[in-house]
Amino acid sequence: MGGPFWGGLLLALVIVLGIVVWSIRRHRDPDLHIECDAPIDELIDSLAGLTLNTAVAGNRWEVHENGAFFDVLLERIRAARKTVHFETFLWKDGTLGRRVAAALSERARAGLKVRVLLDAQGSQKAGKEVVQQMRDAGCRVEFFHKRALRNLGVLNDRDHRKIVVIDGSEAFVGGHCVTDEWLGNAEDGKHFSDVSLHLHGPIVHSLQGAFSENWGGETGELFVGNDVFPRLEPAGDVLMHAVFAKPENSAPAVKILHHTAICMARKRIWIQNPYFIPEPDAIDAFGCAVKKGVDVRVLMPAIAGSDNPMVQHAGHRNFEKLLRCGVRLFEYPHTLLHQKIMTVDSVWCAVGSSNFDDRSFETNDEISMGIRDPALAERLDGIWEKYAARAQEIKLEEWVRRSPWEKLKDNATYLINELL
């Protein structure tokens, strides 16, 4: 038999192997449906249970925006006395990265257990010198899903979480990444906007558990004791639950959280998200909400403000359908709005690392906090209004008149939206 036969056979085997790997690794993607009559603030236990966690009372929060977040974070790292656990997706060498590395290194030299988990893809530009500096100081630095044969089936699965847990008694969670664009106050196109929460109370155990999940998966190390899981007394009166589970035989918890909350809304849904590419079932859920009288608004970066214009093009593909459903869409052209926030009925909110797209809802490891608190919802809606005042609302009659070239780009990029 000639060379073409063997070449064709090899190609067929590669294709079959690829299909097998995809089939093994893919997560189920059911069309989600729910019927409920009670308001969302009465259904927190249901939301927590559906997302494989338990609602925890007795917590308090602080909101930190833009570069000011790192002033607080670094201060608290320097005040740590026993352990520091740091997990992030994106870390690039620069002024901010070196500041964070210096703070972590100083605590490790002081004898603390400092564990740092970086995504191997997102943090590939963290800088060898910076990583080595932390390791030389005594930090244990590990990379999630490094390029290796043993990781062949999970190379597309990234750790997109942003979690810091200090002494097991306080935690930070949100969207902030460790690159110089997150410095400043979103004052221009070179400085991004973002929101993270500083949490105290029993909920910190859930965040420590989320960190432990991927740390244990990469290192095999399990940590126990009061240095990491101390007894936590109530620190406030806010009910919260952490959402991060990604079971193989069901939809990931972050997807269930967002979809269920949309279906529970009675008055309004306000979303801030940098990468907004809802699936068809989510678009239908938004449409049903509007028909019930719910005010649905989405604030996102415009192409001019995005760090990844292809994502915005992919999102544009469904704008006409969303607008016809009655969803109001706003684009901010001045810089990247990176906060991942959804508020519902002015009483509940989701804050975390999850984008509103297939990659976050189906593939990445993410974390979101479900929180019942009118005061927090009011604070986050205030952030929405601050940026919306300088955003452009997309109108249906203007949108449908876009050029064929723009529509072609939108449809072409949507074909690869799960890889963006």
Question: What average pLDDT score do residues 280-307 get?
Answer: 96
363, 419 contact by CB (below 8 A)? no
Q: Looking up tokens 């009925």, which residue turns up?
A: 345
CA gap 326, 289 in Å, rounded? 9
Query: What is the β-pairing status of strands 83-88 and 113-119?
Result: parallel
112, 126 contact by CB (below 8 A)? no
Residue 34 or 232, more confident:
232
**Alpha-helix runs per DSSP H in 79-152:** 95-109, 128-137
**Total number of residues shown for the chain:** 420
Closest CA to 273 of 336, 363, 185: 336
pLDDT-derived band of residue 147, with 50, 70 and 90 as boundaries?
confident
Mean per-residue pLDDT over the chain, rounded: 93
Query: Could you write out the DSSP letters of every residue in 174-238?
Result: ES--BSGGGSS-S-STTS-B-EEEEEESTTHHHHHHHHHHHHHHHH-----STTTS------SSE
Residue 156 or 310, more confident:
310
Residue 401, pLDDT above cutoff 60:
yes
Question: What average pLDDT score do residues 305-319 get?
Answer: 93
Residue 126, pLDDT above cutoff 70:
yes
Residue 396, pLDDT above cutoff 80:
yes
Give phi and psi for 200, each to the nearest 5. Answer: -130, 150
Closest CA to 173 of 64, 53, 59, 336: 64
Q: Say which residues have a Cβ less than 8 Å from residue 373's Cβ, sequence separation at least 6.
A: 61, 238, 239, 347, 348, 349
Percentage of the chain exceeding pLDDT 90: 84
Residue 98 tokens, joined: 């070196």
pLDDT in tens, 52-70: 999 999 999 999 999 999 9
pLDDT-derived band of residue 26, with 50, 70 and 90 as boundaries?
low
266, 377 contact by CB (below 8 A)? no
The DSSP H or E segment spanning 260 is helix 253-264
Residue 28, pLDDT above cutoff 80:
no
Distances (CA, A) of 224 to 8, 173, 205, 275: 54, 21, 12, 37
200, 58 contact by CB (below 8 A)? no
Domains along the chain with CATH numbers: 30-53+242-419 (3.30.870.10), 58-238 (3.30.870.10)
Q: Which residues are 348's β-sheet partners?
A: 344, 372
Question: In this predicted structure, what is the pLDDT of residue 21?
Answer: 56
pLDDT in tens, 74-96: 999 999 999 999 999 999 999 99
What are the strands, taking DSSP E only, across 20-136?
Answer: 56-65, 83-88, 113-119
Question: In this predicted structure, what is the pLDDT of residue 22?
Answer: 54
CA gap 402, 415 in Å, rounded? 20
Residue 27, pLDDT above cutoff 60:
no
227, 115 contact by CB (below 8 A)? no
What predicted TM-score, i.e. pTM, was given to this entire model? 0.93
CA gap 270, 296 in Å, rounded? 6
CA gap 168, 223 in Å, rounded? 11
Active site residues: 160, 162, 167, 338, 340, 345
Question: What average pLDDT score do residues 225-233 get?
Answer: 98
Closest CA to 240 of 173, 161, 338: 173
Closest CA to 43 of 234, 209, 241: 241
pLDDT-derived band of residue 36, with 50, 70 and 90 as boundaries?
confident
Residue 23, pLDDT above cutoff 60:
no
pLDDT in tens, 314-348: 999 999 999 999 999 999 999 999 999 999 999 99
Question: In this predicted structure, what is the pLDDT of residue 29?
Answer: 65
pLDDT in tens, 183-221: 999 999 999 999 999 999 999 999 999 999 999 999 999
pLDDT in tens, 289-298: 999 999 999 9
Distances (CA, A) of 279 to 126, 213, 221, 265, 321: 33, 28, 37, 18, 12
pLDDT-derived band of residue 71, with 50, 70 and 90 as boundaries?
very high
